[in-house]
Structure 1
Amino acid sequence: MDRDFALGGFGMNLNMNQPAAQPAPAPQPHHPSRGSNTHNVQNLLAQAEKNSGFLTLQGLRRKAEIKELEFVEDIGHGSCGTVSKCSYQSVTMAVKTMPRTSNSYEMSRILMDLDVICLSFDCPYIVRCFGYFITAYDVRVCMECMATCLDRLLIRIQKPIPENIIGKLSISIIKALHYLKTKHQIMHRDVKPSNILLDWSGVIKLCDFGIAGRLIESRAHSKQAGCPLYMGPERLDPNNMNSYDIRSDVWSLGLTLVELATGHYPYAGTEFDMMSKILNDEPPRLSPDHFSPDFCDLVENCLQRDPTMRPNYDQLLAHPFITHHEQLDTDVEEWFADVMGDSA
């Protein structure tokens, strides 16, 4: 099946002789089709290349060239590439650059990340993509520029995040995961603090979809995808050959909430030690002496060893901790400005 990699289906029947800027047509519904074999990856790459070199800004889709991106500063780097702050016609954006490779698995990750971020143009809880460039050497994805990710924030402020702020963070992340599942049958599979972003306005968004998986009958099958330290026990158990569902991401969410609330990852030791503890020890819990009963209950529900005992996203959104914080007028923007100022 052909895939359209324009933003949300923008740019169907692309005409290269169009004017430089034009209103974006209505999005076309579609679902991702992917696999890691070389033939399929090459087909997906060819589809993606058809919409390379276009940026959608303020509702207008325009042809652009890489040389028009003005480098501002480096933001960071990881296993998949680098992220830089750039400017395009006074619009500041984050540009993720990933090397183009003949390795079909690595290219499938790049295309998955690109596919999901383009599909999710209509979700306010997922980082927004303006467009992308595919060259002979790399793939560059142009996204909105956020202030920081939560793991860097914890390192900078050197203290836990307050419960009322975590309440707002939880709402955004659960809604992002719920959107991916219900609208696109996609599971993130790498929920952790480094993949949760925050901007100066206090807006929280989910990012990094390179190892997301398409659900087949609501279940995923690849056991290796994701960061092992945030995987549920069912995914780490070498004797468990079963597929898994979104409730594995619910475990990852629970560990993330504990880390944000306490200021540190809940397991200690080497990576092997920590994985062994996930498999064999009782799951971490929040102390009722320091956190509200509803927050403790939410974390306990997420961190059930048996995945069938964990809530799904609809149940999480109906949990008292979530409904309570949806009603609160918490100023995440003010809190963020204060802690960043204190740690400057």
Structure 2
Amino acid sequence: MLENAQKTDFTKRGELGAGNGGVVHLVKHKPSGYEMARKLIHLEVKPAIQIQIMRELKVLHDCSSPYIVGFYGVFCSDGEINICMENMDAGSLDLVLKKAGRIPEQILGRVSKAVILGLQYLREKHKIIHRDVKPSNILVNSRGEIKLCDFGVSGQLIDSMANSFVGTRSYMAPERLQGSRYTVLSDIWSLGLSLIEMAIGRYPIPQLTPKQIQAIFGGDGKGGMSNKDKPSNLHPDAGPRPMAIFELLDYIVNEQPPKLPRGVIFTDAFCDFVENCLMKDPKDRADLYTLGDKPFIKQSNLTQFEFAEWICNTMDLKYDMSDTASVIPSQLNE
């Protein structure tokens, strides 16, 4: 537990990223010697609200799953909430996507399976809905592990940070944008949208035109990607025009959902899986258990070693063959 921790207990090693109102640093906890990812969240709230947020976040101590990022503890210092988590050395999938250009279907099959199992765990064991599924909240490491982070365990924190979730809204399901109650089916929409983004190499709304699809996948006739085909160097027609946030949200609510282009490089099983995630009406959307039985998931046979090998090659990391690459958070209490 880090309830009585102070910032002076940590040595900062570098910045890992920023988002959702907070900056994440790689730190070393000097008393234990453990490396951690520490997220700093600055909130202008009353002390009573801060205490409530801290109390709600402690539920994370009870979350123990291979598909959920490990939690070391939370403490308050200088008006900032410090959330200390397991460091996933390959980072988030949005960073992997930037490096890779596109993420292969086989890799996304293993990612999908892990996300589904993580969402099932949160729902079954803790009655938690993630509320913010997107590539930047799916973390990976050099051991080939895939874990969810930044899920909605604290309602008070979500309310206090509402204005910082502009990026999150672009992954929200239509029913959420219209003010309906959040359910796990909304997380499934977000998963589907994230999968298309990672598969084609760009945010998929509005739907790509045939000309744009050709610009992306026509490089070698098989959808393979040379350096000159990577998104940063693609023809301007390869991506959708920038949209203002109000245009984007209106499009999500009123237009047809995006789809993976069929007949290019993606299997029908993958295309069907994504379409089951992105049904406009949540009543028509597949639930977690239906998705887990889909051919795309059943046929996903990439091993953890193969996934780790791809991640390490992509992110220029050395494959970690140890059995204890990351310290188990409970060890801090021993």
- TM class by smaller structure: 0.7 to 0.9
In the TM superposition, what whole-angstrom CA distance separates every residue of 1:200-241 from its partner, at most 9, and x where no partner exists?
Answer: 212111111257669xxxxxxxxx79622111111223xxx6
Question: Are 1:83 and 2:21 an aligned pair?
Answer: no
- In structure 2, what is the equivalent of residue 72 of structure 1? 13
Matches of residues 119-130 of structure 1 in structure 2 within 5 Å? 119-120=62-63, 122-130=64-72
Cα distance in 1 between the residues matched to 2:190 and 2:307:
23
How far apart, in 1, do the equivalents of 2:198 and 2:51 lie? 31
Q: 2 CA distance for matches of 1:175 and 1:109?
A: 29
| CA distance in structure 2 between the aligned counterparts of 1:256 and 1:106, rounded to whole angstroms | 33
Is this contact kept in 2: 1:100–1:136, CA < 8 A?
no
Structure 1 residue runs without a partner (length 5+): 1-5, 7-50, 54-63, 215-223
Specify the SS of the correspondent of 1:314: helix
Contact 1:113–1:208 under 8 Å retained in 2: no
Give the Cα–Cα distance (whole angstroms) in 2 for the partners of residues 148 and 299 of structure 1.
Answer: 24
Aligned equivalent of 1:173 = 115
1:284 deviates by: 0.9
Residue-by-residue CA offset, 1:174-203 (whole Å, 9 max, x unaligned): 111111111111111111111111112121
Aligned equivalents of 1:95 and 1:255: distance in 2? 28
What pairs with 1:50-65 in structure 2 (closer than 5 Å)? 52-53=3-4
CA distance in 2, matches of 1:74, 1:134: 20
Instruction: Give the equivalent residue in structure 2 for 1:271.
Output: 245
* Aligned twin of 1:204: 146
* Larger helix proportion of the pair: 2
Correspondent of 1:305 among 280, 297, 306: 280
2:87 match = 145
Kept after mapping to 1: 8 A contact 2:60/2:153: no
- 2:54 touches 2:74 (CA, 8 Å); kept in 1? no
Highest relative contact order (Cα 8 Å, sep 6+), 1 or 2?
A: 2
Aligned-residue identity in percent: 38
**Stretches of 4+ aligned residues off by more than 3 angstroms:** 103-113, 210-214
Q: CA deviation at 1:117?
A: 2.8
What TM-score do you get using the length of structure 2 for normalisation?
Answer: 0.73
Between the two proteins, the alignment pairs up a number of residues equal to: 269
Q: What's the TM-score, normalizing by structure 1? A: 0.71
CA distance in 2, matches of 1:263, 1:106: 40
1:92 maps to a residue whose letter is E
Residues 194-343 of structure 1 correspond to what in structure 2 (within 5 A)?
Answer: 194-210=136-152, 227-237=168-178, 242-267=180-205, 268=240, 269-289=243-263, 290-325=265-300, 327-329=301-303, 331-341=306-316
CA drift at 1:92? 1.3
State the Cα deviation string for residues 141-175 of structure 1 (Å, max 9, x = none). 22111121111222233x11000000111111111
- RMSD across aligned positions (CA): 2.8
**Conserved? CA contact 1:151–1:193, under 8 Å:** yes
Distance 2:266 2:25 in 1: 38
> Structure 1 residues 104 and 248, CA, compared in 2 at 3 Å: closer, same or farther?
farther
Q: Tell me, yes or no, if the aligned pair for 1:286 and 1:296 is still in contact at 8 Å.
A: yes
Alpha-carbon separation, structure 1, partners of 2:287 and 2:294 = 11
